[in-house]
Amino acid sequence: MKKLAVMILGVTTLVVNALCSEQNVDGDRLHSVKEAVYSVGKVEQKEVSVVDSVRHMFEDGKVSGQIRVEYASYNQKQSSEPDTYATALGGILKYELAEFNGFNAAAAVYTAHDITPLSGDGVKHNPELSSSKGTFTEMSEAYVNYHYKDLTLRAGRQLLDTPLANSDDIRVIQNTFEAYVATYDYKGFALMAGHINLWQGFDADLDDGWNKTGEHGTNFGGISYDDVWEFNLWYYNITKQTNASYLDVGIQYKINRMMTLHAMLQYLQEDELSNSGYDAKIYGGMFEYVIDGLGFNIAYDQADCRNAKQSFSGTGSGTLFTSMDTMILDTIAQDRKANAIVSGISYNYKNVNFLYAYGSFKGDANSLGKKEYIVEQNIGFEYNVNDKFTAAAIYVLEEDKQNQQKTAYDFDRAQVMLNYNF
How large is the average pLDDT for residues 37-63? 91
| pLDDT 10s digits, 247-306 | 999 999 999 999 999 999 999 999 999 999 999 999 999 999 999 999 999 999 999 998
What's the pLDDT band for 4 if we cut at 50, 70, 90?
very low
Q: Which domains does the chain have, with CATH numbers?
A: 2-421 (2.40.160.10)
Supply the pTM of this predicted model: 0.91
Contact status, residue 374 vs residue 410, Cβ threshold 8 Å: no
How large is the average pLDDT for residues 79-93? 98
Among candidates 383, 392, 384, 376, which has minimal Cα distance to 344?
376
What's the pLDDT band for 35 if we cut at 50, 70, 90?
confident
| pLDDT 10s digits, 375-409 | 999 999 999 999 999 999 999 999 999 999 999 99
Rounded to 5°, angle at Cα 169 from 165 and 172: 135
What's the pLDDT band for 88 if we cut at 50, 70, 90?
very high
How large is the average pLDDT for residues 157-161? 97
**Cα 359 vs. chain centroid, distance in angstroms?**
17
CA separation for the pair 360, 274 (Å, rounded) = 33
The alpha carbon dihedral of 197, 108, 66, 413 has a sign of positive
DSSP notation for 194-239? EEEEEEESTTT-GGG-SEESSBTBEEEEEEEEEESEEEEEEEEEET
Beta pairing class for 135-148 and 151-158:
antiparallel
Mean residue pLDDT of the chain comes to: 93
Percent of the chain with pLDDT over 90: 87
CA separation for the pair 271, 278 (Å, rounded) = 7
